[in-house]
Structures are given as C-alpha cells and as structure tokens.
C-alpha cells in the first residue's frame, strides 16, 4: 500500500499486512491518518467528514492512495487507486481501469469503521443510520444501487416541480408514479436486509454484554406502515405542494437501537453506547460473510477508549472469529496484545511523526 500526501503522511509505503494489524504511537503521530488512507482507498473520502482540503497535506494540491483487494475466489489481487485534488476532483481506478462511480470502487473493499464519529449511529441524525443500513443493502442486494439512483433522480425532479408550483398536467403525476415504484422497491430491499440484521445484532450484543441483551433494532420506513407508498404520496400531496418538497418516503427512513420504549442513546453510558456501535458494525460484517461476499475490512480507532479490558477482549474475541482484516490503533501495543486471543498473530506498526515502521519486537 502506498500513501502520498494524506495529512502528515507525505510518502509512506506499507507492506506485511496480516489479518490483524496494530498501529501504535503517540497522539498526533498519524495513526488515524493511516486508517483514513485505507478508507480513501475504499470510499474515495475520509470518514472524518466530506472536506477534501483537510485530508490533503498542507501546501499540496492532491493526495493519492494505491493498494489492492484480495478475494479468495480470484487468482490475483485487484489493484485499486484513488486520487483526490484540493478542488474536489476524484480519480478512481479499479484493476488499472478508470471508473466513474464510488460504488464501483466500494464493492471491492467493504469497510466497517469504528471511531469516535461512529457514535452518530446512536446519537446523530437519521441520515447516519440510513447510510449504515444502505451500506449493508448495497453489499448484499445487487439491484439496490440502481433503484437508489433512480429514486434520487425521481425525487429531485418531483421536488423541482413542487417548488416551481408546476403541479398540473401529467409531468408531476409521471414523476410521482416512478417515485412510488422505486421507493417501494428500496423499502423492500431494506426490510429484507433488516430481517437478517436484527437477530444477528441481538446475538452479538448479548455476547458483548449480557446486561444489554434487551436492546433491539427497529426499522421505520419513512411513511405510514398501513399505506402503500403510492397511497402515502397521494395523501401527502397537499402538504407537498404547500411546502415545495416530498415529505414521505425512503429518504425519511430510520433504524433505531431501542431499550423498551427508550432510545438507547438516552439511557446508555458512553461505554455501553460503544458496545452497541460495535455490535451494529460486527453484525453487518457477519451478514456479509454469511452471504458469501468479500469479507469486511475493519478500521478501529482507539478501541480501548471508553471500554474496560473485559469488554475490549469480548470485541476482539468476536473479531477474531470473523474472516475479516482488521486495522486497529492504540497508544501502547500492550493494550491490544492483552485483549486479543493469544492464538492469533498481530502485525505491529509503529507510527511517529508521519512515519510508519513495522515492528516485530513490540511488546
């Protein structure tokens, strides 16, 4: 893997990755930047936000990352490359050939991220939880992305007509009809995935913390469950005309972690919230593996934060049972050695002032 001009990582070449890779060093050394570079390779952006300028090394015009994704079904690794410029341009190559969409890149390197930002799954706006749900649907249902793109086009056109007040004639009816069809399909894909996700989450959260075994997931599709989407759009037309946008639909869907009648975010401690986030991420990785798709790659920033040694070990024990590659950061490598199963080898990398060096003697 080659990293060029990503934050304080001016030029880094990494080799010797194993199933479990520990990046250790002082705060500000560049550990999280390595995780960002891997995320850039799989999603063409950082997990810290959408600002490309902050990702690029100060004074430089672009950043690039090159690497490869290996699948057991393929005879050789698939080369991946991403360049982002300060003005926002993205150049992506898969197997040496340019591709136009991030989706064409993401399918080859499924990433699960557990960082401070991941708490948004519990405490943030519904958009973060929709993205979480759609990540899973995208990787297990090939038809989803096409319907999702069609839905985005339909709702944009419908909202444009509503804002301009052009609600007469057949144009609005045509876009509404297409919106209802594709929105219904998206909801069906989401519901099918949610049915698979819910029991896996319940099993994993109980393993991580028996006291949290009562947590459950609830899916809200974005309109009255007693109505079909076409009916919901018809009933909401007056409100849509008045406000100039579409009120109901998959764009309002949500998935919540609940404890009885209460949102988990309102009653759980910070450590319990992190366990719930870990359970959500591990659940998706397990479903992907069960479906026979390429295994997830986990990017975990500062696992020991908010978790005691017992619960850190439970997370590591579960990760060790999955056929997943893991990149995990910490300050002291002993923090991970003490909680990872002894039967598994760990590849150690020391990060200091933007330099990354493999260390076989890290204790």
5: phi > 0 → left, psi -120 to 50 → alpha, else beta; which? left
271 is in an annotated binding site: no
DSSP state of 344: S
Say if residue 142 is exposed, middle or buried (CB neighbours under 10 Å; 0-12, 13-18, 19+). exposed
25 is in an annotated binding site: yes
What does the block give as tokens for 315?
Answer: 């997370």
Instruction: Report d(CA 289, CA 291) in Å as an integer.
Output: 5
Q: What per-residue string of b and e applies to 239-262 under the rule 16 or more CB within 10 Å gives b? A: ebeeeeebbbbbbebbbbbbbeee
297 is in an annotated binding site: no
User: Starting at the edge strand that comes first in sequence, how are the strands of the sheet with 297-300 ordered?
Assistant: 111-114, 297-300, 325-330, 20-24, 347-352, 355-358
Dihedral sign from CA coordinates of 356, 25, 343, 292: negative
26 is in an annotated binding site: yes
81 is in an annotated binding site: no
- Nearest alpha carbon to residue 185 among 153, 217, 145, 224: 145
29 is in an annotated binding site: yes
Instruction: Report d(CA 60, CA 305) in Å as an integer.
Output: 33
Residues paired with residue 90 on neighbouring β-strands, in sequence order: 84
What does the block give as tokens for 11?
Answer: 């030029």
30 is in an annotated binding site: yes
27 is in an annotated binding site: yes
Dihedral sign from CA coordinates of 285, 287, 289, 292: negative
- Return binding residues: 25-32
- Name the binding residues for ATP: 25-32
């Amino acid at each position: 893997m080659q990293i060029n001009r990503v934050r304080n990582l001016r030029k880094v070449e990494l080799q010797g990755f194993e199933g479990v890779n520990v990046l250790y060093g002082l705060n500000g050394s560049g550990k999280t930047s390595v995780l960002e570079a891997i995320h850039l390779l799989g999603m063409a952006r950082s997990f810290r936000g959408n600002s490309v300028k902050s990702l690029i090394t100060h004074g430089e015009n672009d950043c690039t990352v090159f690497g490869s994704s290996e699948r057991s079904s393929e005879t050789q690794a698939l080369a991946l490359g991403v360049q982002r410029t300060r003005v926002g341009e993205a150049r992506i190559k898969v197997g040496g050939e340019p591709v136009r969409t991030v989706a064409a890149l993401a399918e080859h390197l499924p990433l699960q991220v557990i960082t401070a930002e991941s708490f948004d799954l519990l405490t943030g706006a519904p958009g973060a939880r929709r993205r979480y749900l759609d990540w899973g649907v995208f990787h297990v249902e090939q038809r989803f992305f096409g319907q999702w793109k069609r839905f985005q086009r339909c709702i944009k056109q419908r909202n444009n007509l509503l804002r301009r007040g052009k609600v007469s004639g057949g144009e609005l009816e045509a876009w509404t009809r297409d919106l209802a069809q594709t929105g219904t399909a998206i909801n069906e894909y989401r519901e099918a995935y949610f049915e698979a996700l819910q029991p896996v989450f319940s099993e994993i959260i109980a393993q991580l913390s028996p006291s949290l075994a009562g947590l459950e997931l609830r899916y809200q599709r974005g309109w009255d469950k007693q109505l079909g989407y076409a009916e919901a759009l018809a009933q909401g037309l007056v409100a849509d005309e008045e406000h100039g946008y579409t009120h109901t639909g998959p764009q309002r869907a949500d998935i919540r972690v609940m404890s009885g009648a209460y949102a988990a975010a309102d009653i759980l401690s910070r450590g319990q919230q992190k366990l719930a986030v870990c359970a959500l991420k591990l659940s998706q990785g397990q479903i992907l593996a069960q479906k026979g798709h390429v295994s997830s790659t986990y990017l975990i920033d500062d696992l020991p934060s908010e978790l005691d040694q017992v619960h850190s070990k439970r997370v590591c024990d579960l990760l060790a049972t999955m056929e997943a590659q893991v990149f995990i950061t910490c300050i002291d490598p002993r923090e991970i050695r003490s909680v990872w199963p002894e039967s598994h080898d760990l590849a150690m990398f020391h990060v200091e002032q933007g330099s990354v060096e493999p260390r076989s003697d890290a204790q």
